[in-house]
Amino acid sequence: MKKISIILFLFPFGLVMAQMDNDPLAHWSFDEESPGYEVIGKGLLVPGVKGKAYKFDGFSSYIEDKSLVDSKMPRSFSIEAWVSLGAYPWNWAPIVTIGKFKVTGFYFGVDSRGRVGFQMSDATSVWHSCKSELIPGTKLGMELGKWYHVACTYSPQKGMAVYINGELSGNYNDFEFKYGVRYSKLEEGFRIGMNREELAPTDPIRDWATWPSQYSFDGIIDEVKIHSKALSDNEISSLYDGVVPEYSPQFASRDFPKIPSSGRFGANYTRLEFYPEWDNIWPVGDHLDVAVQFDDLPVKVMFWRGTRYSACWVSENNKWMADQSRETGYNWFLNDGSRDDMPTGCMEHMSDVQTRSSRVAIIENNDARVVVNWRYLQMDVKFRQKDLPDNTLFGEWGNELYYIYPDGVAIRKVLPGRGGWQETILLNAPGTTPEDNIELEACTLINMNGESKSYTWEHGYPKFDLEAANIQLINFKSEYKPFLIFREGGSYSVFNGEVRPEYSHFPWWNHWPVAQIASDGRSAFAPDRAAHSSLSWGNTQGPAAMYGMTNKLKDYLVDLAKSWNRPPELNIHSKGFMSNGYDYTQRAYLIESDSKSTDLSFDLIANDNSPILNPAFVIVNWPGKEANLQINGKKIPEGTNFRQGLEYGIDGSKTLILWMKRTANKTINITLSNRVTE
């Protein structure tokens, strides 16, 4: 074979060209701190198999090397590299490529299932592809977090081959012509880590609502070499055997955010951290997320930009439960025109991958309760909205209030808008499947009579058939389990679509949370990324529902549902105060003061059908400051069982918020006195 002379000098920035065909034609070692090739995005140097390697963030990073401007490429060649995956690519991701994907040049990379692939053009209309096989048990290729030596070869005589850890893993020689690789625009050089042409994610639920997306290799690449001949099987094996990795691949944990317990009830602005590569793409400060904690419970409520601020109930072992936003849809194929010219697919919070419109704000934050506002635009994955319903150009918006109390119970109040909003959703952290987070007997339904029935997904979707069930308990693999309570007459139906039994008993998608792809639905087939699974839809029978987490028996949930659906009557004895009834959308009794009277006495008339369970009171125009509390003539000290807070209006008026840890099924008398008078 004729020797190939590529260039006549040594490049000082990491790509080394040689004149001997038994030496690397090109070599990217990534050991230089200041390489001359162009580095784009937020990747970084990390310990590699030898010296340093380049860690691509999966979102923004790639390397461009244009040093082969006037060079010719050999007819036969080989490529080798060491790689370790942090997650499987959304579609193909290149280790190294040159030319235009599926048109000219070659492409050596990894596909969405972890297979190694080598692809090339031969100056015909055919794009040739050779890739490694899937492992039958996992239906995947390379495992995550491990070093692999990968290689490919091509010669006009033997065709294409790919190797993993020194062993032949696939070959291809279905060439009608022996033209070799057809190149174009060599001056654009090599690209490492990111496609030149955006590709749509694989496994879409709706092809028509999935677009080409920017992403990069999610993992580490080291010691990329191009050889000017097709190496033999023995030579490939020797290259693999000749390197013992100096360092293990370094990947941070990708579990969902965790925060240390504050030991107090209240809300805080914070910046919830996921893993460094994801965190680094967000141009935000330290006060963008909201975390609510409890002093008497090991659970939390997280409003995190990774879920587009959908409120999540988090158990003591970091299992996450979420819900849907208001959602409508717009299907381009039902209308004239292109999907590129109109909103398309699901219109919901999940589509706002950069939280361009989704926002949370702490409205109240006192010892008695926390109130958080969540406002979001219903948009498609291209950040587009429908101009409905009133031609204002504001489009469809959702606006919600969360009233959260010290006992870990919250009311979600959804303000007027368009679209349904309740869908019971569990989140799956990277490294976990739905079955890791929830029992196959995933859901227990309960009605107000105390009847209950549990349902299993073991043999497919169940059918909910418990009559008048308005209470749902989600059987997380945790001590504290999420629950959801509707108004009487509300009901649940099983989410019964888009399951793939070969991968999970439950529907399982990874286009949300945290993902940055332009797709409103992508099936998951591996636990490499954050994902979600839906269990049910709800008919809430009103604009509010009750949420929480508990480790108590069903009797507690029945009493809680009764206390909210059938609240005890409040009877005021004092002059100067007026009852405005029970507001179930706040889980609170509303009382109005004439701002002059200082003592308030009233009865809560409870029974077995209308029990008292941790009631709250909102007293508008309360005079003075805090209040003293007596129940049935006995003074209750402020603290665990009695909490209060003052909220000041813009006009200086005061509203007293009180919450009591109290259960009873008979009438009690409550007296409040203004501390200013003492």
C-beta separation of 326 from 417 below 8 A:
yes
Residues 654 and 527 in one domain: no
- Residue 677 pLDDT level (bands cut at 50, 70, 90): very low
- 556 and 575 assigned to the same domain: no
Looking at residue 479, what DSSP letter applies? S
Same domain flag for 142 and 274 = no
Signed CA dihedral, 628, 633, 636, 637: sign only: positive
User: How far apart are the two ends of the chain, measured CA to CA in Å?
Assistant: 103
Q: Check which CATH number belongs to the domain holding 237 and give it.
A: 2.60.120.200
Tokens 């925060």 map to which residue? 259
Q: Say if residue 578 is in the same domain as residue 554.
A: no
Of 23-37, 415-429, 595-609, highest mean pLDDT: 415-429
Judgement on whether residues 662 and 595 belong to the same structural domain of the protein: yes
Question: Is residue 672 included in any domain, yes or no?
Answer: yes
Cβ atoms 250, 47 nearer than 8 A: yes
Last residue of a domain, one of 520, 535, 560: 560
Looking at the structure, do residues 529 and 596 belong to the same domain, yes or no?
Answer: no
Whether residue 6 is predicted with pLDDT greater than 70 in this model: the reply is: no
Q: What percent of the chain has pLDDT over 90?
A: 85
In a domain, 18, yes or no: no
pLDDT of residue 71: 62
Cβ atoms 230, 158 nearer than 8 A: yes
Residues 633 and 498 in one domain: no
Per-residue pLDDT for 106 more than 50? yes
Indicate the number of domains in the chain.
3
Question: CATH no. for residue 651?
Answer: 2.60.40
The domain containing residue 188 runs over which residues? 24-241
9 is a domain residue? no
- Comparing 251 with 599, which gets the higher pLDDT? 251
Whether 476 and 595 map to the same domain: the answer is: no
Q: What is the dihedral of CA 520, 521, 526, 531, to 10 degrees?
A: 60
| Residue 585 lies inside a defined structural domain of this protein | yes
Last residue of a domain, one of 560, 589, 617: 560
Q: Report pLDDT for 1.
A: 30
- Does 329 have pLDDT greater than 80? yes
For residues 355 and 292, give the distance between their C-alpha atoms in angstroms, rounded to a whole number: 20
Q: pTM of the entire structure?
A: 0.93
- One domain for residues 451 and 531: yes
As a whole number of angstroms, the distance between CA 359 and CA 305 comes to 9
Under 8 Å CB-to-CB from 307, ≥6 apart: which residues? 322, 427, 512, 513, 514
Same domain as 576, residue 545: no
Query: Same domain for 575 and 536?
Result: no
Q: Give the pLDDT confidence of 525-558 residue by residue, as tens digits.
A: 999 999 999 999 999 999 999 999 999 999 999 9
Express each pLDDT in 488-531 by its tens digit.
Answer: 999 999 999 999 999 999 999 999 999 999 999 999 999 999 99
Asked whether residue 433 falls in the same domain as residue 339, the answer is yes
Residue 177 lies in a domain: yes
CATH of the domain at 380: 2.70.98
Per-residue pLDDT reduced to its tens digit, 632-675: 999 999 998 999 999 999 999 999 999 999 999 999 999 999 87
Show the tokens assigned to 498: 């888009």
Query: 560, 581, 598 — which closes off a domain?
Result: 560
Q: Across all residues in the chain, what is the average pLDDT?
A: 93
